[in-house]
A = this chain, B = another copy of it.
């Protein structure tokens, strides 16, 4: 009898309902306003019912992070795909812009993943295919750019880490300190990306 299968599916449906409610609360009210009681209220259950489907709030956070990280990877891949050129330098450039764009388009997710919960990133990515993980993507494109002579031949891993650092710097500062007297945004981003590339040339 498939009763066991059905229950398994029902449990998965309930888990989905819970994280959907959590996502909705997160995008509308921000993470600081996602409480177990509010999630429960949204799906007409008691707060403690959730604990039959998730061990604790952290498990729900992990799902929010996975959700956001999937959007992140999509943005990166789209950004590179939208780059017509097949030149490694151009494609790397497109990736760098795509990273910053993700942050500016999804500031709550960027904050949640890269500012507040970076130490959890391992847990978020364990089930992902290695080849689509963000940093691997970046490293591969750095290597390609080096092989084509666009970048000077350093240690590709270190160069990629340096690029990530600079990308994270401008993205997180623009997001977490919007009231600072920043230079006009587009121009500032262009300047930073150019400086980053030039620094490795």
Complexed CA–CA distance, A185 and B165 (Å): 13
Interface contact A188-B161, CB-CB below 8 Å: yes
Interface flags for A36-70 (1: CB within 8 Å of B; 0: not) read 00000000000000000000000000000000000
> Known contacts A179-B122, A183-B155, A199-B199: does B166 contact A166 (CB below 8 Å)?
yes
Q: Check: A176 CB closer than 8 A to any chain B CB.
A: yes
Q: Check: A154 CB closer than 8 A to any chain B CB.
A: yes
Add 18 more A-B contacts to A158-B187, A161-B183 (CB < 8 A): A115-B115, A118-B177, A119-B176, A121-B180, A154-B191, A158-B183, A158-B191, A161-B182, A162-B195, A165-B166, A165-B170, A165-B173, A168-B173, A169-B169, A195-B200, A196-B199, A197-B199, A198-B201
Chain B residue contacts of A155, Cβ below 8 A: 183
Q: Write the nearest CB–CB distance from A137 to chain B, whole angstroms.
A: 16
Q: Check: A167 CB closer than 8 A to any chain B CB.
A: yes
* A121 contact from B157, B161, B177, Cβ within 8 A: B177
Chain B residue contacts of A119, Cβ below 8 A: 176-179
Interface contact A162-B177, CB-CB below 8 Å: no
Q: Which 3 residue pairs of A and B lie closest in terms of their CB atoms, listed nearest first?
A: A169-B169, A195-B199, A199-B199
* A168 contact from B118, B157, B172, B187, Cβ within 8 A: B172
Q: Write the nearest CB–CB distance from A26 to chain B, whole angstroms.
A: 18
Complexed CA–CA distance, A30 and B121 (Å): 22
Q: Check: A97 CB closer than 8 A to any chain B CB.
A: no
Q: Write the nearest CB–CB distance from A200 to chain B, whole angstroms.
A: 6
Q: Nearest residue in B to A161 (C-beta to C-beta)?
A: B183
Q: Check: A192 CB closer than 8 A to any chain B CB.
A: yes
Q: Write the nearest CB–CB distance from A162 to chain B, whole angstroms.
A: 5
